[in-house]
Amino acid sequence: MAVWSPAARGFAARLIRWHKRHGRHDLPWQNTADPYRVWLSEIMLQQTQVVTVIPYYLRFLERFPQLADLAAAPVEEVMALWSGLGYYARARNLHAAARAVIAQHGGKLPRDPAVIAQLPGIGRSTANSIATFCFGAHAPILDGNVKRVLCRAFGVEGFPGSGAVEKHLWALADELMPARHGAIHNQAQMDLGAMVCTRGKPRCEACPLADICVARAGGRTAELPQARPRREIPLRHATLLVIQHGKRVLLETRPPAGIWGGLLSLPELPAGADAQEWAERHFACRVIAVSPARCVPLGTFEHVFSHFRLNIAPLLLQVTPGPAVMEPGWQWQELAGIESAALPAPIRRILEDVQISGNRPLPSR
């Protein structure tokens, strides 16, 4: 495939010169060729901004400084450190991939990007990033920032997540790779997309590609890249029970796959069930009246996932203790310890509200 836009002329050279003066050079995962650290940053940065990732990245490395430490840890501990970062399949795949590297590759990430891409949770772009930054591979990348830069610079039509457009972008990215300084070129594209060629209000006046950018020349920076075709996002409803005894709440471990997989969550009331009757029968406890209601609404709110919206209605039920030994998957959690618990953000929000609200726990009986 031939590059068909004037933007191809000097593309890599312009980016490399710009990056030397204006790019990001001091992020925690830069200035290292450690494949584990680069890999970890690449996974965390998927769908997540740098400012959010940095504290998680540092805490993660403090606990798991080496790949072998991550592989040896229980997945529950990995999920707890990931709690709040979202897209939790990333953490499960990261842990699975670490164990695969130990078992199949002698504890070292392979150098071939095609082999790296076979590990759980690592796609072509992430594998190419690791191989480029750590092993000097000549391999293009195509994350969200790079897609945006290429779509605007070359006037690429269509949604970049579609198969045909993505194939076109890969061919374009491959042809634009310079013979030398591939790692700097790849980093420069990411930095330009993150710092200048942003989704909203791009800083075209500061862009090294401004005079050859097809989107800028046509006044189409707001149109390119084209958005995902609009579709109706369904709304679901869930009533979550905050079953509280003294200063503890009852939590369940979610199944490994699916929403909040492997994390701790609140029990969900089946549709149409009576909260008091269901809780007493299910957990062999007794619900206590609280001024004077037995089930206290805590205020509904909406949480948005990638493919649906969830309307969450928490109910507080204060109870006498159930059985001392809980069924597998259920546990009592001290409210004072929720900061370190493996909780998704909406569940943490509910429990923090319980801590600071007027719904004080009743004395244990």
Active site (catalytic) residues: 42
306 three-class SS: coil
Range list of H helices, the chain: 11-22, 35-44, 50-63, 67-72, 75-82, 89-104, 113-116, 124-135, 144-154, 163-176, 182-195, 214-217, 275-283, 345-356
Contact criterion met (CB below 8 Å) for 43 and 121: yes
Q: Which residue is associated with the tokens 């990348």?
A: 141
Nearest to 302 by CA among 289, 290, 284, 314: 314
Cα distance between residue 155 and residue 173, in whole Å: 14
Identify whether the C-beta of residue 248 lies closer than 8 Å to the C-beta of residue 266.
Answer: no
Return the closest-CA partner of residue 67 out of 34, 113, 19.
Answer: 34
Task: Give the total residue count for the chain.
Answer: 365
Q: Which two tokens stand for residue 62?
A: 């403090």
According to DSSP, the residues that pair with 236 across neighbouring strands are 310
DSSP output for 178-196: -SS-HHHHHHHHHHHHHHT
Tracing tokens 């707001």 back to the chain, one arrives at: 222
Please answer whether residues 185 and 12 qualify as being in contact, where contact means their C-beta atoms are separated by less than 8 angstroms: yes
Distances (CA, A) of 107 to 61, 136, 164, 324: 17, 20, 37, 42
